[in-house]
Amino acid sequence: MKAVKVGLLGLGTVGTGVVRIVEGHQHDLLSQSGSPIEIAKVLVKDKSKARSIQVPEEALTENAWDVIEDASIDIVVEVMGGIELSKELILAALERGKHVVTANKDLMALHGPEILAKAAEKGCDIFYEASVAGGIPIIRTLIEGFTSDRITKIMGIVNGTTNYIMTKMSQEGAAYEDVLKEAQALGYAEADPTSDVEGFDAARKMTILSTLGFRSSVALSDVTVKGISSVSKEDITYGKKLGYEVKLLGIAESEDDRISISVQPTMVKQSHPLASVNGVFNAVYVYGEAVGETMFYGPGAGELPTATSVVADLVAVVRNLNLGINGRRGFVPYKEKKLKTDEQIESKNFIRLHVADRTGVLAQITQVFAEYEVSLESVLQHPNEQKQEAEIIIITHNANRAAMNKVLGRFNTMDVVLGIKSVYRVEG
């Protein structure tokens, strides 16, 4: 039986996992796909480097075009990362009629529509399950599992680094800076953690999920982003007193065909399943009009979880090859993108104010909310008698973003408000 030949671009953590699974599970892969799978060429930076797996010397190359221009290779698997070179190579592979599997979230978030269109034009498969949430099969679920439903909301923890930090801060009372250093020492966070802790990594993943869930071409610039670097121990403590955990959530909503996407630290009700997702684990909550609420949970990164998703895509491509249906189940956004305005984006809000502790201050604060028709769910006041100051913690009912911005703007002009310590969305 003729083997399907694969060109692998990258032999780092995920690439190594792909080789390990393909070589170790050949019998299972054959039974599932209908053909043997052979990794025929592998792009590496240094052929002489010692590796934890054995790859034949003749299969290694330091020139990516050896893979792309090899006519015997049917499928290109891209796990090397980066954007510009990866884009060039993937488009070139598709142009030559090769099918593509990628784990590159940055590339698909920024250039997904162009790559999907090229695949459709050439009748090729382009699968990218591993680009979001590692081993959780969320992309295939959104494309295939919800075809008969209409998704109204996607909400998830899609970055393991920040979830590890928030879990440690919540469970151990540790400071943000201390936990970040620990995460870097353990390899969970990069030396430059900006992409993770400022929410950019999660924003790229939410761009992909929103495009799939709402069938519209969502751009990274459509996502409102706020990271976790300003989350304090005090915020977490007050949240717990009110029954909430702080999580960095990606939130995408669709109502009347208008959508909003954000990444932000969020107060999640402790009774909500996302509140108990801890450590480096990921979870994605999907609301469908017909099915209701569903949640997908699992490891969001790592050699074998991510490689499992890559190989699952690889099997799907080989199966399509044997059935002669490559390119027929590709996803191309078809709905016009309409973004919500600030007046249409609504949520509950947690607000912590530092105020002067004297008669009438709370009445002045609540009057501002009333002026902009923002109703309050709960109010806590914690006085500091030594300084004649107090902290007021407020949770609002649903309010639109425009009204909340006006409320916060007024607080900034009031003498009795000494500072707006924090503002968080509330979910669950």
Tell me the catalytic residues: 205
Structure-block tokens of residue 87:
């884009």
- Phi/psi of residue 144, nearest 5 degrees: -105, -40
Structure-block tokens of residue 2:
């003729």
β-partners of residue 298 are: 282
Q: Report helix, strand or coil for 191.
A: coil
Q: Which residue has the tokens 């979230």?
A: 105
DSSP secondary structure letters along 322-339: HHT-TTSS-----BPP-B
Structure-block tokens of residue 350:
């947690």
> CA geometry: angle at 136 spanning 92 and 106, to 5°?
40
Dihedral of CA atoms 46, 54, 70, 303 in degrees, nearest 10, equals -80
Closest CA relative to residue 168, chosen from 152, 185, 153: 185
Decide: residue 199, CB within 10 A, 0-12 exposed, 13-18 middle, 19+ buried. Answer: buried
How far apart CA 282 and CA 295 sit, in angstroms, is 11
